[in-house]
Each structure stands twice: as C-alpha cells, then as structure tokens.
Amino acid sequence: MSTTDAPDHGMDPTPAADWLTAHRGEVEATLGGLLGAAEQLNAWGRHLAAVLGGGGRLLAAGNGGSAAEAQHLTAELVGRFVAERRPLSAIALHAETSSTTAIGNDYGAAEVFARQVQAHGRPGDVLLLLSTSGRSENVVRAAQAGRRAGLRVWALTGPGVSPLGEASDDVLRVGAPGASTSAVQEGHLVAVHALCAAVDAHLLGTTATAKIAETPAPATAVAAPAVTSEPLDLRTPADRRPRAAGARRPRPRVVVVGDAVLDRDLLGRSDRVAPDAPVPVVDLHGVDESPGGAGLTALLVAGLAQTTLVAPVADDDAGRRLRDALTGFAGADGGVEVLHLGHAGGTRTKTRVRVAGQSLVRLDEGGPGTPTDVDAAQLTAVLAQADVVLVSDYGAGTTRDPVVRAALTDVARRVPVVWDPHPRGGVPVPGCALVTPNLAEARAAASPAVAGASPDILAEHLASTWGVRGVVVTTGAQGAWLASPGTEAMFAPAAVVAGGDPCGAGDRFAASAAVSLASGRVPSEAVVAAVADASAWVAAGGASGWRAAQREAASLDDAAAAAGDGGIAAPRTAADVVARVRATGGTVVATGGCFDVLHAGHVATLEAARRLGDALVVLLNADSSVRRLKGPTRPVNDEVDRARVLAALDCVDAVVVFSEDDPRAALAELRPDVWAKGGDYGGAELPEAPLVRSWGGRVVLLPYLDGRSTTSILARGAVPAAAAD
C-alpha cells in the first residue's frame, strides 16, 4: 500500500472521536438526571435488599441491549458487586433460551416473559423490566403478569411516558428528552450499578461507593468535571440519623391510618338479680380506659416499630384522654406520634360492662367521627416517612375521605400498604400489598356469584377485583388464606386455642403483618407470623388480656422505680396476681401439694388446674411440713428449689409457701375462686372444702396421671443403689 493510501491520524478527527465528542454531553446529562434520582434508586435498593435477604427473588428481563443490562444486574447479584456477601437469587428471564423459544413457539413472542413470571414469580418478589422505548409488548405483558401475581414491578425506561411505565408499580425514566438510545442504555447500566451499590449497602450496613473506583483513571484523558471527595450518600433519611458504634439500625417506621375510638371497660362482680327487672346487678370496682380501633392497632405496632397514627381526634375531654394515652404509651420509646385530623362530633366511645371476664352490654356514644379539614401536604409528608402504611378502617369515614384516599393511592405505588377493611369503609386503593378481610367481610365485598365460595376462592377473587397484590381472608380458629390475582391460595393454619377472647384479633393480625413487611419479610412469611400472633393473642385473653398485661407491666415498672436507682423490683407475688385477675373480673385458681420431685403427673394436674380460670397460684408445703407428712428423709429438694421450679412453668402464675400441715390458713388469706386438688379421695370431703365454699369458692378434683408418683419414682431409684452396695 502506498503512503498516499494510508490514513492520516493526525489531520482529520476520526469518526469515533466525532461520536464521543458529540455524545459526551448526552452522557453527562444522563448522569446528572440519575444523581437527581438517587433517592429513588436507594429506595429500590433498600426494598430489594429486604426481599433478597429474606429469601425472595429478583426477576429481570429486556430485549436487545436492555437484555444485556438486565443480565448484568442478575450476574452482579448472584456473584458480587464490590464487597463479599452471600449469593442472592436473581434470574434473567431472557437468558432461559429453551423456555423463551418454547413459549414463543407455543404462545407467541408477546408471552415469552409473562409466562416465565407466572412460573417463577412469588408474591413479594421483585420484577425489573428494562426497555429504552417502554413499548415492547413482551415487557408490558410481563409487567401486567407480575402485578397480577403479587410481585413488585419496576421499570427502567427512556425519558418519555410509556405503556411499560404505566403498567409498573414504579418507573425510573432515564435520559433527557430526546436522548439517543445509546445514552439511555448507558444510563441504564449506571443505574444498575447504583442499584447494586444500594443493595450491598443495606445488606451489609456499609456506605455505598462507586465500583469504578477500583479502576484507575487513564493518564491521558479529557479533564473530568470536578467531583466531591465524599461518596454518594444513598441512605434514606432514617438511615442518616447518627448512631453510636455498634448500635442497631433504626426500627422500621409504620404509619397507621384509620378511625380511633376510646374503649372503656366497667369492671365489676355480679351475684344477684335486680328486683325491678330480670337483669343482673353489677357492683363496679374499677374502670379500664384505653385507645381502641386504629388506636389499639397503633399501640400494637408501637411495641415493634416506630409508629405514627393518622386519625380524626375530637377536641373534647375524651379526645384529649385518647391522645394522651397514645403519646404516653409505656410500651414504646416515645409513645405513638399522632397526626390528628379534624373530627366531626364527639369522641367515639365504646363502653363495656364486664363481669368475670365476659361483657354483659356495650354502650356506644359520640361520632360520627368523619375527618374534617384534612391538610393534604401534611398528610403526604407523614406518609413519605413510612416503610409500611397500615390502614385500620373502623367505618367512621376516614378511608372514604377524598384527600386521604388520594394520598393512600399515591403512597401505595411506593411502599407496601396493608389494608384492614370495614364493611362501612372505603374499598382498598389499587396496589395495596395486602388486604386482610375476615370471612364475613370478604363475603360482603365479593360479587353475588362468588360470595358463597370457599375462602381461597374469595381471596383470589377480591385480589383481582380490587387490583391489589394480595388478599388474606382470615377464618378465625381455622387460620387464613392468602392469594394474589390469578394464583392458587396459600393456607396458613392457626394453632388450636381452648377458650380465649377473640376481641381485637383482627387488629393483632394486621399489626403483625405490617411490621413483618416493614422488616423485610415477604407476604407469605408475614401472613404465617400474623396467624401465630393472632392465635397467641386470643389465648392470652384478647384486648382485655392485653390491657391487663399492660397494667401489670406498668405496676412492675413502678415497683422497680420504687426500689431506687440500681434496685431490683421484688418478684411477682400471689397478691399481685390476684389483684390483676380480680381487676378484670377473672377467676383465680389455687392448688396445693409438696411437689418434691416434679414429674409428669404433677405437670398434668397443674395444667388442668390452670384451665379452670385466669391465673393459677400453687400453695406449696414448706420443708418442715413435708417432713411431718412424708418422714425424715423428705423432702429431696428444699422449698426454695421446689418453688423456683414450679414458678418456671408457664401454667403457674405464683407460688405461696406455707408451713402448716394443711393449706387452710393460706387459703383463708388467698380466697381463690376455685380450689383444685389432684387424686382420688374415695368420696371423702377435703378438710378445707367447707372453708373454700364459705366465700363462694368451688372445689374441683382432678385425676392423677396413672402410674406417676414421687414415692414410686424414688423407690425405683433406690433399687440399683442397693444392689451396688
């Protein structure tokens, strides 16, 4: 080749240089836009870290160059981005060549991603779809399939409004108006890396730094724009709060929106009927007052998460007591923050007359309680702080207010919303993560053709009808059924609970589910946890039992404070137990014995005795008493050890040690409602029975577990010892 044919690199710019020079401005504009979207990318990273860290999965897909970017993301997650961490579950759908070709052949190219989403996606998983135009039919259908299946769907598109963006839960539009396809794709790659940095930061608790820092800049390059020496801060406002070294990350924040009421329990005893009407006469001995409705829900959440309640609160004496009970709640640091909306009418108050743990009558007053003068900007600002929003609808009108509904509709696009509905309330807004009707509410909300169907069918029907990601129909003692649009339902069975009080169980269920989602659990995990928590709530006596436990905790705190700085409060006494149970109209059970070598027969008797009431006090023979009754070689274990072992049993609430030969003196002081004794007395009356009946108590005999006794156990142990001698 002659010298005249050789290219002259020093005279004319090359096409590559021309393109790079012209393209540089586009790239800089694209990166500037991504800096402005850093908070959105961080929110995505935070949510994705919670999903993947909790065993969830990311699905990603795109066409052409977007497919390469999607596969780049899944590779970084399954492998690593910068720091070492465990592999995370991420699947690039377009890389499944056998599936894509088979689906395309059988169902058409438009279904190649949607059908894989139906196969691999689970409620709570994340689906990320990349498309520079946002108009490819296969990614739009994948987004629609993802939302029907209960996945969180995100889109990375070009700068314009697109069908893919409209079909997704959230969209990040990359590039300035009129940006070229190449600039958008390059911006997508940078966004993918920023997302990986945010995921790693939230999983590992580190500050995100750019991966490009691993590679030194070229020695000869056009001068780059100045950058700060500080790394890009991708943390949420809550994460930016200063923490001491080694301190835990802040608790999640849950915003509860709904209708609060004031619950009042008038506690008393009744042993006669009125002479002027066939009604019981109740002698009151106490009043228990606490927040109810959405107020109770907020208190339940507050024990596990930072909590704000948004609710109408009346400007009257009852409203002020309601607000003070929330903000001063001792079960949470700082209580419950309250954004009080205007309230039509007086405070809604529900007053129950309760005797022996049962309600005789309920009196409702106040209301209607619909919100007034709702400040949209203030409401939006509060919702913007939430990791999860929990709607606790009690039918007073908060969920029908147009300003409230608009704010909830908007926030449901960004964070999980759990909606506990009410027949008189507004329908759940589209996009809710989880709606929690009970079976009666589900039947009332369903179309007539489906209203009589089984709970699993109802759950899927309502999820499709409401346009939400998941509906869980609770069925009381049976459990709960969770379904997403177009999916089979999952059944979460409840533990068997004998007796108990279901009042407030729906609030407990919704609160537990919301906190689980805020902590990063997927919906199925949240529902299983909520079923278990609701069952425990019923077994513990429902709302009344919870309030009694709060009073007891407060009294223990007072006792600890009374002990002085560094002092230790005295252990719970039988008198404390009796006072707590009697304050709620409950039943005190007592039993007694030596309990020298605790065995299965003892445990069976104690568990049976506990089922007779609301608390069990054990009257324990002292060492001197046991020696007189059993002989000089007994007891094997001293009274301190025996009392400690008994007190450790879940069925025992308190232990009293007495030194007499029989328990009559201890019984006279305790005065239980039921005296339970194990063993066969052959029809002979217990010596203490007349005393117990003198104050209206009952005597109940419980059978021994056959073949179990302390004497026989000690005899069996003595045989090998004698042989050894």
DSSP 293-331: EHHHHHHHHHTTSEEEEEEE--SSHHHHHHHHHHHT-TT
- Distances in Å between the Cα of 231 and the Cα atoms of 41, 207, 379, 564 are 15, 8, 33, 48
* Collapsed DSSP state (helix, strand, coil) of residue 156: strand
Asked if 566 and 555 count as a contact pair (C-beta separation under 8 A), the reply is no
The CA distance from 464 to 110, in Å, is 22
Provide the 3-class DSSP secondary structure of residue 700.
strand
Q: Is 368 left (phi over 0), alpha (psi -120 to 50) or beta?
A: alpha
- Please give the Cα distance from 475 to 565 (Å, whole number): 49
Catalytic residue among 200, 387, 393, 507: 507
Q: If DSSP codes are grouped into helix, strand and coil, which group holds residue 170?
A: strand
The DSSP secondary structure of 333-375, one letter per residue, reads TT--EEEEEEEEEEEEEEEEEEETTEEEEEEEEEEEEEEES--
Find, among 574, 569, 608, 594, the residue nearest to 703 by Cα: 608
Scored b (16 or more CB within 10 A) or e, 304-343 reads bbbbbbbbbbbeeebbebbbebbeebebbeebbbbbbbeb
Is residue 426 within 8 A of residue 459, CB to CB? The reply is no
Amino acid identity at 170: D
Cβ(11)–Cβ(154) below 8 Å: no
Mark whether 507 is an active-site residue: yes
CA distance 32 to 99: 38
Q: What is the DSSP letter of 694?
A: H
**DSSP E strand boundaries for 615-653:** 615-621
- 671-696 burial by CB neighbour count: b if 16+ within 10 A, else e? bbbbbbbbeeeeeeebebbebbeeee
Instruction: Kindly provide the b/e burial profile for residues 419-456, where b requires at least 16 CB atoms within 10 angstroms of the residue's own CB.
Output: bbbbeebbbbbebbbbbbbbbebbbebbeeebeeeebb
Dist CA 448 CA 465 (whole Å):
13
Burial class (CB in 10 A: 0-12, 13-18, 19+), 197: buried
Report the catalytic residues.
507
